[in-house]
Chain A
Amino acid sequence: MAGLKLNPRELREYIKEYTGREVSACMQCGLCTAVCPVASFMDLHPAALVRAVQVREVDLAKLKSIWVCVSCMTCVDKCPRDVAPGLVVETLRQIALKSGIEPRTYSQLLIDETTPSILLVTYSRKSTG
């Protein structure tokens, strides 16, 4: 897949526009990662992702974390600097989706007749723009 590389200035502007939050306010306390229920499945855990966004180019086409976050909002409510890493993740996910990057196609999903529709609806919501 072609890359989708954004530098810190572009990332910061997108995040400001999408969330009203300021990533430079992050003081790297790590509370977001500590409370995240899915951090260990991410390539960049929440605090590391916010740090990456602050200081270096990020390739959204390669970033797995944005497809792992379930928007449980724990880190958003807990962040002492109101950076709200869950909203940063959601911003990056939306930019990726708008650029045509998909987490997985529907044909690969594990669906049978017992799959509750709530699972399909919520998964679809997070996999489409």
Chain B
Amino acid sequence: MMYPVQTLLYYPGCSIKRDFIVVERTSKAVLEALGYKLVEINNWYCCGGFPGVTLSEHSKYVSSLRTLTMAQMQARELGTDTVVTLCPFCYNTLKQGEQLRSIKPDLYTRVASYLRDEFTPYQGGLRVVHFVELLYSKLSDLAKLSEGRLKGIRVAPYYGCMLLRPKSIALDNPDNPEIIERILRPLGAEPVKYPYRTYCCGSFHTLGEPEIVKRNTSKIASSITSSGASITVTPCPLCLYNLRVNTNLRVLHLSEIVAYALNLRDFLDEESFKILSTLRGEI
């Protein structure tokens, strides 16, 4: 191993395990190549999907606090303080659950009282991070390992909502995020900027009001098409699904393009590998 290994607790979440297996495979491969060791949290629970928005939604914090309680016990054994998430919904919900104790102490006390028969409630001290933040902390390693393999490929990053809003959990400037662009440049890629990169794709309305998702994804798609990008990447599995189902864009998860750049081809789906290799050949 060329780097000192840092151990992280890994929170997968429902869809990464069931529907987006390639995202888990490529993300883990990339993080391991960058010197991280991932240990899955024992007995993790559903993040809750959405955090509570109002002050009366105590029950919506129960599952994220329960997971953080489990994570805290394991973190002590492993000597780490960091929980990494791959899904932006999980990141958002767990991060807001983590902040509850310091930001809304009354709400925390009430939720903790629901859990007191099960465990010692979460006491604070964990750091919830998203995959994107770990990549961003290793830019020079990305450059070294990729040898600029994506040279000349014009990539449109699509952020979605959950990594940027509300601002208490934003991992970059919500009005003008650049973190994914900064990850793509050391890989050799040319990130393009376009107006709709943080515009909501329509989210869960796919199930009940699909015309909302069709309208929003088509606005995003035409904005990307006029930007001249040849491929779109997103860190969010739900955005990925909505963009794939509703538009003609070539869309990959961010972890796939990074895995390709780091020459981790064994972890990629054949189709993603073909798309990226064709793009590379075209340049």
Binding site for B on A (CB under 8 A): 17-20, 37-38, 40-41, 68, 70-74, 76-77, 86-87, 90-91, 94, 103-104, 108-111, 115-126
Whether A104 and B208, one on each chain, are in contact in the complex, defined by CB atoms closer than 8 angstroms, is yes
Which B residues are closer than 8 A to A by beta carbons? 13-15, 18-20, 46, 48-50, 53-57, 60, 87, 89, 161, 165-167, 174, 199-200, 202-212, 215-216, 237-238, 241
CB contacts (< 8 Å) of A70 on chain B: these are 161, 200, 202-205
Pick from A20, A108, A117, A126: contact of B19, CB under 8 Å? A117
Q: Which residues from B are CB-within-8-Å of A103?
A: 208
A73 to B166, CA, bound (A): 6
Is A41's CB under 8 angstroms from B208's CB? no
A-B contact pairs, 16 of them (CB 8 A): A38-B216, A41-B211, A41-B212, A70-B203, A71-B50, A71-B53, A72-B200, A72-B203, A77-B165, A116-B19, A116-B237, A118-B241, A119-B238, A121-B46, A123-B204, A125-B50
- Evaluate contact between B54 and A122: CB separation under 8 angstroms: no
Which residue among A18, A87, A118, A120 has the maximum number of chain B CB atoms within 10 Å of its CB? A118
CB distance from A79 to the nearest CB of B (A): 11
Choose from B56, B166, B210, B238 the contact partner of A116 (Cβ within 8 Å). Answer: B238
**From A98, which residue of chain B is reached at the shortest CB distance?**
B56
Known: A19-B54, A118-B89. A37 touches B206 (CB 8 A): no
Bound complex: CA A123 to CA B13 (Å): 16
For A18, list chain B residues within 8 Å (CB).
Answer: 54-56
Contact of B53 with A86 in the complex, beta carbons under 8 Å: yes
6 more contacts with CB within 8 A, not counting A41-B211, A77-B174, A94-B54, are: A17-B56, A103-B208, A118-B89, A123-B207, A125-B49, A126-B204
Knowing A70-B200, A77-B165, A122-B238, say if A38 contacts B212 (CB, 8 Å): yes
Bound-complex Cα distance A110 to B242 (A): 14
A110 with B203: CB separation less than 8 A: no
Which residues of A are found within 8 Å of B48, using beta-carbon distances? Answer: 125
